[in-house]
Structure 1
Amino acid sequence: MKILLFITIALSDTSFASDELNPCVNYTTINNVDRRAVGNILKLGIVPSLSDDFLDNEWYRINSDAGEQMPTKAPGLFHCGTWYPIWLNGTLPNNVGEEIEGQVCLQGIYEECFTSWTIGIQLCPGNYLVYNLVESTNANSAYCFGTAAVNKELTTTYAATTTQTSVTDNQVGGFEPCIDHKLIDFQEKRAEANIFKFGEDVNISDDLLDSGWYRVQRDECGKMPITAPGLLQCGTWYPIWLDGQLPVSVGEQSQRKVCMKTFTNNCTYSWNIGIKLCDGGYFVYNLLRSNIALSGYCFGTSEICAVGNSDGIKDVKDTEESKANILMIALIVTIGVAVLVAIVILVLLCKKTKQPEKIRNYLVGGKTQNGNVQKMKCNKTDDSPPPYKRGVSISSLSPQILPDKPPPYCSRECSNVTIGEVKAACKNVDPFAMFTVKH
């Protein structure tokens, strides 16, 4: 009897070990799978490029509406949701249980197979494929799967708004989100009442979050806010909140829209995530990586969920003071900018009004802004410059002193003499005599 029991245990252990090594049983569902279809063209500036240079090396299964087969022809640049698509340069296995090593190519700008390497591919019982993928050698490159265009993960509602779908739930192989999940990082800082402090706190940024199922460890702080928090709340610049209602029935799992709060809008960006209410009264969330830096998911709507004193209760007074300080700094900066702009405008207006007046006064012969004639001056009859020397000429190489006096001259400079004095002094002046030498 003992021998039979020992044999039974040994066989069960062998079967368990074989399941662990069997890629048709032990695999991972790849993320962002619908975006990897050949028909999906990357929209630069709207959606970030997929990049498998950080992919974990392991077996993956593809569960996509676009299909699970890797394309066997070069898709084209910017297809498959990435800059440089990775495709299969060969054929897929045809027999159940067959495992092959296939060559995959990274499509470059000038070559369809810029660089290549091998991966494992197996056709499993149930007629589905699994791939033993390795990380890519280049950034902004990703594996392609499926040939149809699946655009449900990206729809534009207005110029600055995008909508995404949640990652695949991966229900194959007994996966249960209420059990198979991770605890969210920095959960004590994600409460709505927690205000980010410049220079003291590290900003939460879920653009580096691994997409998947998450739970907040403290059940009373596991609810996402359903109204838009303020900027700098939830320990981040741009809080992500739930635009809808949480599930109310145990076991209920549904897709819900989340929004990102920014300076200009409560819902500048939006996408869908999965939410499930588990037995025990806690929620799990199928979170997507955010597309915007300095943004983070919010969890916890009560004061007790925020980072605070030793008893776990947030000091509301400190929170309000921090918020008031931030608003005061913003107000001071705004006023300073307004004053600077006003000074610049005044300087430009002064230059614009004064400069033409100077030119106009000169052209009209000395009229001021109020229309009065400026007084001019003329030298007196006996007032003349000292004798001058004539320059070297052809007839004489030595300078010659001219005893003659030049006639009176008039200038346009202002003085206290009257216009009548100017006319009396200058009326008998022969303009040609000023330049005539008698000797």
Structure 2
Amino acid sequence: MDSILGTLRLLFLCLGFNTGGAVYYCNVADPCAQANASSFFEPYARFENCQYDSKYAPCDRYITPQWYRVNDAMLTQCPELLSCGAVYPLWLKGSLPTASEGIVERKACKVGFSSCCSKEYDVKIKHCGSFHVYCLGALDSCSERYCFGKQGLCEYPNTNTMSTTTTPKPTTLSPTTTCSEDPCIESNLQTLTQTEFRSMHCEYKQGQSNCDNHLTTGWYKARFPMLNQCPKLLSCGSIYPVWMNGSVPSTGDGVVTRKACQRGFHSCCSKSYDIKVKNCGKYTAYCLKGVDTCPSRYCFGDQLCEDDEDDKRKSDSDDDGAHQHGNLEIILGVILGVLILILVVMLIIVKKRYVKGNSKTGSTVNIQVAGNNIQKINNLAYSTEDHKWGNPPPYRP
């Protein structure tokens, strides 16, 4: 019993450590003093209006977990992707505490591709009178970053980059001067890579470097038509997807010119490229050139992403396996039940035979005992007669 209690106590302590250990570094005597003495990590470009810059790629993955003082309040509403100088900004899920509340626990939400809170982190906050202090831990990946403030200058070290509050004017690059060949002859076509991962539903994954900056100018054929609606940032497997602003021509239109728009931080068309399109009946050909911004690439199709389909097929396979496993358990259960039933019937039959056999043996013994008793009675009777009448007289000739 003592060993069991000891094991339970150890398990309880482990569980307690795991649930409370996430913010163990917040347990200091005076959070306000520590925050005042701590230099806030990478304070620049944390405002909501600051667009992510892949050249600098600031990140909160390698920060020292402790109390920090920040001049601006932590953002308490969901920002857009690529804001606060990060691909995936983090905002405060809840309100800032008052001075009377002391230290409070809150959740910091990571903005995801399809959710304002794709992941949560534990944080602590305290009101120190004239400012707030935040106990922040290191994040899991890059580029994730805590957001502070809505508007401000977006300057990076050793640069004079000013605020990005103004929307950049769309720029149009010079039209392509090649693609004079007939794209309806398939030998004049080039292969566009990764067409299965260019759908508007394919989310950009951390660490990917999908970019069409090395694309050589020429005619290309894809499995799906080029997307002709404004996609989200981080779609088509890239940060800045490029889509076609216009419709696919008919077969009788010949070669037509269209605008390919690059999705920007504040606009669906922050930059545009002149492209050519021709409908060849069996397929549509596109005259494309390399893009100027990375990671950016052309979008094709609005079908379910191949990665999602693979996950779905895997899930369906797992479900089928579980279903088959369940059926096997049912079959084995039925067989076991039948075997148990047969065993019970056999036991009943054996018992009946045993009882019947004992009954027959008892009858034979009784008959034998009765015969012996009768013989004894006869002998007794004969002896009694001999005693009564005496011995017979001897024979005389």
TM-score w.r.t. structure 1 length?
0.35
Question: Structure with the greater relative contact order (CA < 8 A, sep ≥ 6): 1 or 2?
Answer: 2
Larger Rg: 2
Q: Which has the higher helix share?
A: 2
